[in-house]
Every structure is written in structure tokens, then in C-alpha cells.
Amino acid sequence: MLQCLALYIGALCHDLDHRGKNNKFMLDTESPLAAIYSTSTMEHHHFNQTVTILQQAIAMTASDLSASSKPWDIQVETVKVIFEEFYQQGDAERAAGRIPIPMMDRNQPDQQPSSQVGFLTGICVPCYTLLDSLIP
């Protein structure tokens, strides 16, 4: 299934935003794209256009949220790491004289459960529901 999805995305993105000219023409005419991509001008352009679209696409968000779709024991360990990162930011904010938001305040660990429930129900479930409707 993963290979099929990769091939599908590759097929969609092949020659994305093709300008009707080859790499040599782009270099010889000093096109703006050739100034950005000095080798394999159009291939680099197609790839970067693809990345730009994927960053807007729901699939990038779903990948970012993927820990929430893992088995519970793995998800629990991931959440510990994420909250430690949040707490370190909260510590840095407190050291800078700021008040961290409750989720990033290690002095308020009771905020973790409601934060996770809100994250799962408000962000993860809608994201994966949409992704499932787009790519069943």
C-alpha cells in the first residue's frame, strides 16, 4: 500500500509546474529558475513545488501527528518526551521572566491529561478523519 501511495504521489508530481522548456534552455537563457537551481533546474523545481504542496497538504500534518496513532505503550513514551520538551521551554520562559502556558509548566502536571484529550479530539481525530476520506 505504501509503495502504491509513493508511486501515486510521484506520478502526480512528475513535471509539476513544467514550463515547456528543458534544463539547457533554462540555463542558456538565464531564466530565474536557473539562477535558483543551477543543476537539474526543472527537476529541482518540480521537487520543491511538490514539497510546497505537501506542506499545505493534510498528509504532512498527519505525519507530524503520527505518534497519536501508534499503540498505547509507544504513544505514552512519546508523550513523555514531548512534555519534557514542553517543560524545558516553560523553564526557559520562566527564566526569561515570562509565565509559561499551563501545558508547558512543569509545576502544573495536572494539565497533561486534559491537554492530551483536547489534542486527540480537536486535532488528531479531525485530521485523520479527513485523510481517511481523501485516501480511504
Q: What is the pLDDT along the chain (136 residues), one digit of tens a residue?
A: 888 888 888 887 888 888 888 899 999 999 999 999 989 999 999 988 888 877 777 777 888 788 888 898 998 898 889 899 999 999 999 999 999 999 899 999 898 888 888 988 998 899 888 888 877 7
Could you give the CA distance from residue 18 to residue 56 in angstroms, rounded to a whole number? Answer: 20
pTM: 0.54
Grid coordinates belonging to 99 = 509565565
Buried b (16+ CB within 10 A) or exposed e, 7-18: eeeeeebeeeee
Contact present, 65 and 82 (Cβ < 8 Å): no
Task: Please state, in angstroms and as integers, the Cα–Cα distance from residue 89 to each residue in 52, 78, 104, following that order.
Answer: 29, 17, 7
Distance of CA 99 to the CA centre of its chain: 28
Residue 91 is predicted with a pLDDT of: 97
Q: Where are the domains of the chain?
A: 2-56, 60-134
